[in-house]
Amino acid sequence: MSHHPDNIAPHGGSLINRVCTPDQKAEFLDQADQLPRLTLDERALSDLQLIAIGGFSPLTGFLGQADYQAVVDSMHLANGLPWSIPVTLPVSAETAQPLKLGSNIRLDDPAGRFVGVLHLSEKYSYDKLHEALQVYRTNEDKHPGVKVLYAQSEINLAGEIWLLERDPHPFFPAYQIDPIDSRALFRDKGWKTIVGFQTRNPIHRAHEYIQKCALETVDGLFLHPLVGATKSDDIPADVRMRCYEILIEKYYPMNRIALAINPAAMRYAGPREAIFHALLRKNYGCTHFIVGRDHAGVGDYYGTYDAQYIFDEFDPGALGITPMMFEHAFYCKRTGQMATSKTSPSLPEERVHLSGTKVREMLRRGELPPPEFSRPEVAAELARAAQIPV
């Protein structure tokens, strides 16, 4: 293992590790039956894991009230470090009431397995409407992020956490590359500049185009699809992963791309989530991050390029990762290739616009995405998964 320093420091300066040592784990297992128990939902479990592995550095636990308030109101932690999405552990008042500050709480996964410990430092109530308007820019419960927020319980528990152990991912163990490992991987490949790409959709030609534009100027591409909780109509993670594998094998220079899963839950918070996704990739060792059209958006809640404009609200040095902004790419009939309005002289009617939404709609109608949309092998894989005869 090479020992030269990483190209980029984690957010806050050091990579957090809250995974138990074997001794700590044994100690917690001894106390397991005495501790008050809390069952985490899918999102809280994914947040617990991301805090523990350093994906959410500098967080060492679920946010306390001062940090929560600062994040919601100013997109910074109380110490002034940029942070755009509150990472909280909400429980009901009845559940919170008997829990003692300063005590340990046993955290179970949805299946009832003991997975972690919370050292309880605070319990506080919060204003859901205010959080919705600040974080999601809307108070409509039709918005999937707001819907989840409104369904949450009313008291946030705060405190440092431990993860008992880091289990292999149940479906994609080969692609579970945690921040400490992705940083080692980039070092071993000799990559000095690495661009991260966030996706929750199969990669269509517009994505491929902007990734390759970015790859022309950096050493490596970290393809980092999100496999945590997503909306029910998003294409399932296993189908998406197969599409990425096919693309990398056939259409990408394999020695310049790394594929790994991002275990985060999707918030659909648009611009704020673009910042959140950038900081997460910085912790994984990326120096650059692709921000496309309507990043992490949903419906018509955010302006087309709001996710790019929000980066201007931060001092560039404070984020510590360089955003790479791309316009909406399309297939240009005039030039016979993928392009954006920056590079194509075409008229609107000569442009074939693609989007994950359009691909999903076509599949639902039993249609195969055309070659201008998707590489044929990817289209075939999507069709197979959607049970469309090819």
Catalytic annotation present for 79: no
Question: Which residues is 38 bridged to in the sheet?
Answer: 107
What 3-state class would DSSP assign to 141? coil
CB-neighbour burial class of residue 261 (10 A; exposed 0-12, middle 13-18, buried 19+): buried
> Please, which residues have CB within 8 angstroms of residue 354's CB and are 6 or more apart in sequence?
204, 205, 206, 329, 330, 331, 372, 373
- Quick one: which of 173, 197, 48 has its CA closest to 113? 48
Q: Could you tell me if 278 and 243 are in contact, meaning their C-beta atoms sit under 8 angstroms apart?
A: no
- Tokens 């559940």 found at: 95
Please tell me whether residue 76 adopts helix, strand or coil conformation.
strand
Q: Looking at 18, 43, 187, 200, which residue is catalytic? A: 200
Q: How many CA atoms lie within 13 A of 75 on its CB side?
A: 20
Q: How far apart are CA 197 and CA 215, in angstroms?
A: 11
Of the residues 18, 187, 201, 360, only one is catalytic, namely 201
Phi-psi region of 159 (alpha: psi -120 to 50; beta: other; left: phi over 0): left
3-state secondary structure of 166: coil
200 in catalytic set: yes
Where do the H-state alpha helices sit in the chain? Answer: 22-31, 42-53, 65-74, 93-96, 128-131, 144-151, 179-189, 205-215, 237-251, 271-283, 306-309, 316-319, 356-364, 376-385
Distance separating alpha carbons of residues 78 and 192, to the nearest angstrom: 32
Question: CB-based contacts of 108: which residues, under 8 Å, 6+ apart?
Answer: 37, 38, 39, 40, 114, 115
Instruction: Give residue 54's Cα distance to chain centre.
Output: 13
- CA atoms within 13 Å, Cβ hemisphere of 248: 19
Cα 301 to Cα 19, 136, 267, 306: the distances in Å are 37, 8, 13, 10
Which of 229, 198, 164 has the alpha carbon at shortest distance from 22? 164
- Please identify every residue annotated as catalytic: 200-201
